[in-house]
Chain A
Amino acid sequence: MTIGINAFLFLSVALFAIGFFGVLLRKNTLVIYMCLELMLVATTLALVAFSRFNGTLDGNVFVFFILTVAAAEVAVGLAIIVALFRRRQTVMVDELNALKN
C-alpha cells in the first residue's frame, strides 16, 4: 500500500468535520447523537492510523476503551432521550426551550 498517514488523517478530519456539521445542523436529537458517534469513529480512525504507522499497539488499545465508553454512553444517552420524550412528547431541539426566558 502506497498510502501514507496523511491520507488517513485527511479522511479522519473530513469525517470529524461532517459529524460536527451534523451536530450543528440537525434538529432531531437522535440524528445529533448519531453525528456525535460519527465524530468518535473519526478519532478512532486517526488513533489506529497513528498506531499502525508508529509500530506501536497503544493507539489500538485506546480504541478498545473508546469503543467501551461509546457503548455505555449510547445506552445512557438514549435512555435520557426516551425520558425526555416521555416528559415533553418531542425530541426536536428547537422545541426543547424550557430554559428560554
Chain B
Amino acid sequence: MADILFYLFAAITLSTALFVVVSRNAVNSAMFFLLSLMGTAALFVLLDAYLLAVLLVLVYAGAVVALFLFIIMLLDMRGGERKPFKRTTLVAGTFAAILLGLGVLSFVQHSQLSSAAVSADVPALGASLKGYAAQLFTTYLLPVQVVGFLLLIAMLGVIVLSKRFEGLEDVK
C-alpha cells in the first residue's frame, strides 16, 4: 500500500513541478507549485517526518505561496500573450538539466548506498516531537539563535527595501 502511495505522490510532485516550469501564466505556476509542495509533504509523511510535513504545508503552502500570489496580484502581470521562452533556451535548458540529473544519478549509482528498504530496527526518530525539542535545545541551540537573528535581519531588510528613497538616481 505504501509503495503505491509513494509512486502516486512522486508522480504528482514531478508532474506538477513540470507544470510550474511550462505554464504561461504566473498564477497557474504558483498553483502548481502549491500542488507540488503538497506532494512533497505527503512524501515526508511516508518518511515518518510528520512535523516537517505539517511545517512544509504551513510555511511553504501557507506563507510562501500566499506571498507569491500577493506579489503577482500587486504587480498585475499580463500572462499568456507572448511566448514565455525561446526555442534555443528550451533546447539548452533541457540539455543542461539532463546533464545535471545524469551527473547526480551516476554519483548516486556508484556510491555505497544499499537499495534495500528501511528495516524495522531503524528507529523513526522524526516521528516524535520529543526528539526535535531535545536536539533544538541542546546540540543545535546556537544555530537556533542564529536563525532567529537572521529572521530579524530579514525583517529589517524588507522594511528598508520597501521604503521609498527620495532623490536617488534612477538606473537607466
Contacts and interface: CB of A to CB of B under 8 A. Distances in A.
B84 A28 contact: yes
Given A25-B89, A49-B47, A52-B48, A1 B117 contact: yes
Contacts of A27: 84-85
Among B20, B33, B47, the most chain A Cβ lie within 10 Å of the Cβ of B47
Interface residues of B, number: 84
Among A20, A67, A78, the most chain B Cβ lie within 10 Å of the Cβ of A78
A14 B113 CA distance: 18
A31 to B, nearest CB: 5
Given A28-B26, A55-B125, A4 B117 contact: yes
B61 to A, nearest CB: 11
B18 A18 contact: yes
Contacts, number: 238
Contacts of B30: 34
A19 B36 CA distance: 11
A49 B154 CA distance: 30
B8 interface: no
Contact of B33 (A6, A25, A37, A73): A37
Among B10, B71, B122, B158, the most chain A Cβ lie within 10 Å of the Cβ of B71
A13 B33 CA distance: 17
- Sorted nearest first, the 5 A-B pairs with minimum C-beta distance are A72-B154, A21-B97, A1-B2, A22-B21, A24-B93
Interface of A: 1-11, 13-22, 24-28, 30-31, 33-35, 37-38, 41, 44-45, 48-49, 51-58, 60-61, 63-65, 67-76, 78-83, 85, 87-88, 91, 98
